[in-house]
């Protein structure tokens, strides 16, 4: 099974790049399932229902989020209407929406996708992500209720991300980090067979500060005084993500490689899909 994960879409330039390229990628690479993190898609802060629907219409099977999930107030209501929209699963009981669900891939496989948020240097501090993941895995074990299991672990600290990967190793197909918007070079298959990458990067303008116009963040580092609001950068976008091949027999990963397409970073497509 071929699965593609695309990192945080940032602003108009990031989301439109994904919408433009994703249908061709699904066709050309014969993808079975696509997950896109959309929490920064609306001007860098949250996601609207219209943007969510455009992302699904472009071919995404699931849209995940993170700490910015509620930045657009309409998300509180529309999250209840759409099964393919996930907010972090470790929000307290009673929070609107869902944090995990089982979906069907194009090849008929059952894919459990879970969105979990870390706690180190993160706000708000949610419930224990490790305990949350344990409950998700117990309710839907790999190769019993799910043919593959994917975690979007939205977190700041690479140490927490790595420990989470080891925690679910052998019980999940793929753990991918989001939130820091910079693609890491540590894509690997862990000892138990779980594919892992600390951060998929972002889909946005890399002539920026994490997808935001660089002048105001730079000013605040230098002067410690705000001059204006953070605004999403508007230059040409680079799409960043990661591709994984998952065994139909075991539900564990067989191959993993980054995908990067666009303006500034060196372009790469997983060679096992070419």
Binding residues for Fe cation: 8, 39-40, 67, 154, 179, 181
Active site residue 166: no
Secondary structure (3-state) at 169: strand
Nearest Cα to Cα of residue 19 among 243, 176, 237, 210: 237
CB-based burial of residue 146 (10 Å sphere; 0-12 exposed, 13-18 middle, 19+ buried)? buried
66, 37 Cβ separation under 8 angstroms: yes
4, 21 Cβ separation under 8 angstroms: no
Instruction: Name the percent of the chain in helix, strand, coil, to the closest 5.
Output: 25, 30, 50
> How far is residue 39's CA from residue 57's CA, in Å, rounded to a whole number?
17
Cis peptide, bond prior to residue 124, ω within 30 of zero: yes
Residue of 68, 123, 166, 187 with catalytic role: 68
- For the chain, how far is it from start to end, CA to CA, in angstroms? 15
**Binding site members:** 8, 39-40, 67, 154, 179, 181
260, 201 Cβ separation under 8 angstroms: yes
**Residues sharing a CB contact under 8 Å with residue 168, sequence separation 6 or more, in sequence order:** 133, 137, 149, 151, 175, 194
37, 10 Cβ separation under 8 angstroms: no
202, 29 Cβ separation under 8 angstroms: no
Secondary structure (3-state) at 15: helix
Active-site residue list: 68
């Amino acid at each position: 099974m071929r699965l593609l994960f695309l990192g945080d879409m940032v602003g108009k330039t990031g989301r439109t790049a994904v919408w433009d390229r994703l249908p061709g990628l699904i066709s050309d690479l014969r993808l079975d399932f696509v997950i896109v993190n959309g929490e920064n898609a609306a001007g860098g802060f949250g996601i609207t229902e219209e943007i969510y629907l455009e992302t699904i219409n472009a071919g995404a099977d699931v849209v995940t989020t993170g700490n910015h999930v509620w930045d657009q107030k309409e998300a509180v209501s529309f999250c209840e209407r759409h099964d393919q929209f996930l907010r972090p699963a470790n929000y307290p009981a009673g929070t609107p929406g869902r944090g995990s669900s089982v979906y069907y891939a194009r090849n008929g496989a059952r894919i459990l996708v879970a969105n979990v948020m870390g706690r180190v240097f993160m706000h708000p501090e949610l419930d224990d992500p490790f305990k949350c993941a344990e409950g998700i895995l117990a309710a839907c074990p790999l190769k019993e209720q799910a043919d593959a299991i994917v975690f979007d672990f939205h977190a700041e600290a690479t140490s927490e991300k790595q420990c989470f990967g080891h925690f679910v190793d052998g019980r999940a197909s793929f753990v991918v980090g989001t939130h820091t918007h910079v693609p890491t070079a540590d894509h690997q298959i862990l000892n138990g067979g779980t594919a892992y990458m600390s951060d998929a990067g972002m889909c946005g303008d890399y002539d920026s500060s994490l997808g935001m116009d660089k002048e105001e963040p730079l000013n605040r580092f230098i002067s410690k005084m705000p001059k204006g609001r953070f605004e999403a950068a508007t230059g040409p976008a680079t799409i960043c993500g990661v591709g994984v091949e998952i065994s139909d027999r075991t539900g564990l990963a067989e191959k993993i490689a980054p995908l990067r397409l666009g303006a500034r970073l060196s372009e790469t497509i997983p060679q096992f899909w070419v």
